[in-house]
Amino acid sequence: MIYVIDHKDSFTHNVVHQLSLFDKVECDDFSKINKSKLNKASTIVFSPGPGSPKDYPLSSKIYKQFKGKKRIIGICLGFQQILFCEGANIIEQNKIYHGFQSEVLVNKFSKLFDVGSKFKVGRYHSLKLQEPFNSKNFDITMRCVISGAAMSFENNVDKIYGFQFHPESFLTINGKILIKKILSA
């Protein structure tokens, strides 16, 4: 079972809908998390959402509790939430991407996706990862072709994955395949 932690976003149910193609999915508001569902889940997903990771201490707590014990996936705010817990600074960008389709490139650090491939993704983020960023076993594996901003990471040791873009958006080409790959990794 996949447990989606909803940060009151208007895209969370697109995520749920997409994940449901692969496994049973449960979804609850971040402030009303059910402990038994959390323990039962094989995968925890941190949803997109408004604001910044520091606004969601409950989600940070869950991440720290289950890191290395379950597969963890973060999307948009969820991506930032995980990196924030790993010590990253999440900062405002000069150029803001909401409803923007842009191209990303898979770099040599990726173990799951075809290195060197480019594809179009949908983005909805005001904030971004401040770099340089280093944390044990974490690699930035996709970047925006134009700005170079971090677009995904992989931690294949602890099975933690994140996308700054939205795999569930209609703007992301083959988002379903991206999700399938990290769920079977």
Partner 1 sequence: MIRENYLDRINNSNKPFVIYKKTKGFDLYTDFSKKIILNNRNIKEFLDTKFKIKKNYKNTDLLIGFFGYELLNNLIGIKLPKQKSINFPKGIFYKPESKISLKEDLVYKSNKASKIAKNFKININQSAYTKIFNKFKKKIKSGETYQIKICTKYKNKSKIDPLDFFCRLAKSNLAPEAFMIKDKNFSIISCSPENLITKNGLNISTKPIAGTLRKTSKINKKKALTFFRTNIKETKEHNMIVDMERNDLSRICKPGTVKLKKEKTVEEYKDLYHYVSLITGKLNKNIKNIEIIKAMMPGGSVIGCPKISTLNLLNKQEKENRNIYTGSFGYIKFNGDMKFNIIIRSILNYKDISEISVASGVVIDSNAKHEFNENFIKAKALIDLFK
DSSP per position, 117-175:
-EEEEEEEEEEEE-SS---TT-EEEEEETTT--EEEEEETTTTEEEESSBTTSTTSTTH
**Does 151 engage in binding with partner 1 (CB under 8 A)?**
no
* Residue of 26, 38, 52, 105 that binds partner 1 (CB under 8 A): 52
Query: Of residues 101-130, which lie at the interface with partner 1 (CB under 8 A)?
Result: 101, 122, 124-127
Question: Helices 57-66 and 77-85 meet at what angle, rounded to 10?
Answer: 60
Nearest distance in Å: CB 92, partner 1: 6
Does residue 168 have an active-site annotation? yes
Closer to partner 1 by CB, 20 or 135: give it.
Answer: 20
Which amino acid is located at 128 in the chain? K
Closer to partner 1 by CB, 75 or 106: give it.
Answer: 75
**Beta-strand pair 160-163/139-144:** unpaired
Number of residues in the chain: 185
Question: Which of 7, 27, 76, 125 is an active site residue?
Answer: 76
Instruction: Give me the residues paired with residue 75 across strands.
Output: 163
**Does 35 engage in binding with partner 1 (CB under 8 A)?**
no
Question: Which of 85, 125, 154, 166 is an active site residue?
Answer: 166
Nearest distance in Å: CB 142, partner 1: 20
Instruction: Give me the residues paired with residue 67 across strands.
Output: 70
From the list 54, 4, 34, 38, the residue with the least C-alpha distance to 183 is: 4
Closer to partner 1 by CB, 94 or 136: give it.
Answer: 94
Does residue 166 have an active-site annotation? yes
* Residue of 2, 4, 14, 110 that binds partner 1 (CB under 8 A): 14
Closer to partner 1 by CB, 110 or 169: give it.
Answer: 169
Which amino acid is located at 72 in the chain? I
* Number of CB atoms found within 10 A of residue 29's CB: 12
- Residues lying near partner 1 in the complex (CB under 8 A) are found at 8-14, 16-17, 20-21, 49-52, 77, 92, 96, 98-101, 122, 124-127, 166, 169-171
Positions annotated as catalytic residues are: 76, 166, 168
